[in-house]
Amino acid sequence: MDMKVYFDNAASTRVCDEAIDVMTTVMRDCYGNPSSLHECGFSAKKFLENARCEVAASMGAKPENICFTSGGTEANNWSVFGSAEKYARKGKHIITSAIEHSAVSDPIKKLENSGWDVTYLYPDENGRITGEVFADVLCEDTVFASIMLVNNETGVVNPVKAYSDEIKRRKLDTVLHTDAIQGLCKIPFTVKSTGADLITVSSHKIHGPKGVGALYIKDGVKIAPFILGGSHEKGIRGGTEALPAAVGFGKAAESGMTEYGSVSAHVLSLREYIIKRLHDEVPGFVCILNEDAKFSGNCGITDDKVDLCNISNSPFILPLSLPGYMSEVLMTFLSGEGICVSRSAACKKGARSRTLEAMKLRNDVIDGALRISFSRYNTEEEAEYFVQMMKRASQVLLKKL
């Protein structure tokens, strides 16, 4: 069998037809600047604001609380540096986790090197940052906290609402940020159900174009502008908006919200199929996390009543391992058979997974780890082909001595 299988959707996704169509229309017929005060500008502005409404709706937010950015990295950087600049006079303590994306951890390390006090929280055996460990380190001087909603390597869902509730219980002014890039249109959440003040989302993880993301900023929360140079985005993010990308993002978010129930059930079935078949066919296979992960797929994606504490994993990400083999060798073998997977976050370019190390997994499990991530376009036929190629890899590759 000669197949091409893309199982690296946590890194980036195929752009959906709905997004392509609206982007093509905007690039061809509505090329004005949204800030221009003439007919072409007004038309462009209408497209932009409609996209803002679509992104907002996909996370249960008000459109006026959504600011478009160049992507998730900018939105994460803006959250960290913008909050630090605005609230430094109130304290110099930051809480984050040891399993954050580098778009959060690197800016925080820069602040730490300049004198900020940073507390790094480590996950439990299930890969989760519990509400209890957060509460233990939260203090009067904590002005900013950032813990991701869904881990990009394991799919573990963190109880962000528990952090928010603890901040409110103590009546602190701590600004809570969550990177929800792997959560948008993949697990049911809203800005209300997280309780976060700042939320980062990105387009190209949900079948939208690359180069655009958004930052949700809660009413009453002020952060310093990150890019200066105009009155765009209510004067807090300078630069002409990338209109074609923004409308593509909006349409992908709308589609993702509409099709959430069927798509989540589909990818969950693929996840379960692969786990069972690997157990049957590949001796030594390890599913890194709980195989019977709790997942709420029956509710609406923007249900404010969803308790994130009752959702353990995203069905879109499956971390697995073949101990005794090296993940780089496995990836090369699979790539040669037309299968695209990764070993950790794409931005790490082959570096060892900080997340799996923070979970204190065995070295051979970490060294043989792969991340499989799904989308609406994957099929059971592809899943079976992947299983068979993993079986062949275990038979023809030499184990690490």
Hey, which residues are catalytic here? Answer: 347
Task: Tell me how far apart the 2 most distant CA atoms of the chain are, in Å.
Answer: 70
Contact 11, 346 (CB under 8 A): yes
Query: CA Rg, the chain, in Å?
Result: 21
Contact 63, 49 (CB under 8 A): yes
Contact 390, 278 (CB under 8 A): yes
Strands 317-321 and 286-287, sheet pairing? antiparallel
